Amino acid sequence: MMFLLKKTSKHKLPAVMTAIAASLAAFSFPAHAEDGVLEGDTRLACEAVLCLSSGNRPSECSNSLNKYFSIKFTRPDKTFEARRDFLNMCPTSHDVKSNMPALINAIARGAGNCDARFLNSLNKAYYEKKIVDKGWSKWNSDDDTVRIVRVEYIKNELPSYCKVYEENEYTQGVIPVYVGVEKEDGQFVDPPPQ
């Protein structure tokens, strides 16, 4: 039995966590305690799936998110694979009917790589701007100095993996919003809590 909520603003993450934990406890898996409740990395993986599917992350998410984000390698593809393997420890991650493999891939690619801080540092581009410094005479342009400066700005286009993360039917408010004007003051800001 798999229970995840589709995008809607009326559902809150703690209620979702409780419902999924209850439904997962009904299964019999090798990584559970005598009372049928998941524990260890299996439990952390399931909690991470829930917490990373929502932009609203309560304090109950800290252990699973610390575990998830501690998985780092120098090569981004290795980090993606290891994080995906961790999330796949959750018993419901292989449920094809509920499109869970796509959600796991979207989370592994996007979570931690699609927040405002990361996007503002990654999505940088440059353009050349012509600046005219006026000389001593404001009526004559012969003594003006023209210089070209390279201006850095934050592009408003999301990387493709962030689009997949946001467009998954189970993710809620996880992608930052671009505010301002591109090539001026534009930047990504984290979405408001739902």
Report the number of distinct structural domains present in the chain.
Answer: 2
Rounded Cα distance between 53 and 64, Å, is 13
Averaged pLDDT, 157-182: 85
Q: Is residue 103 part of a domain?
A: yes
**pLDDT: which is higher, 136 or 39:** 39
Q: Are residues 52 and 136 in the same domain?
A: no
The pLDDT of residue 171 is 81
Q: Is residue 169 part of a domain?
A: yes
Q: Are residues 94 and 136 in the same domain?
A: no
Lowest mean pLDDT among 10-19, 46-55, 78-87, 107-116: 10-19
Locate tokens 């292989």: which residue?
94
The pLDDT of residue 186 is 92
> How many CB atoms are located within 10 Å of the residue 71 CB?
18
Q: Is residue 194 part of a domain?
A: no
Q: Is residue 174 part of a domain?
A: yes
Q: Is residue 143 part of a domain?
A: yes
The pLDDT of residue 16 is 41
Q: What is the pTM of this model?
A: 0.64
Query: Which residue segment(s) compose the domain that 139 sits in?
Result: 124-153
Q: Are residues 61 and 137 in the same domain?
A: no
Contact 80, 108 (CB under 8 A): yes
**pLDDT tens across 52-78, in order?**
887 667 788 889 999 999 999 998 889
Taking CA atoms, 21 is separated from 11, 25, 106, 108, in Å, by 16, 6, 22, 21
Q: Are residues 76 and 113 in the same domain?
A: yes
Whether pLDDT at 18 is above 60: no
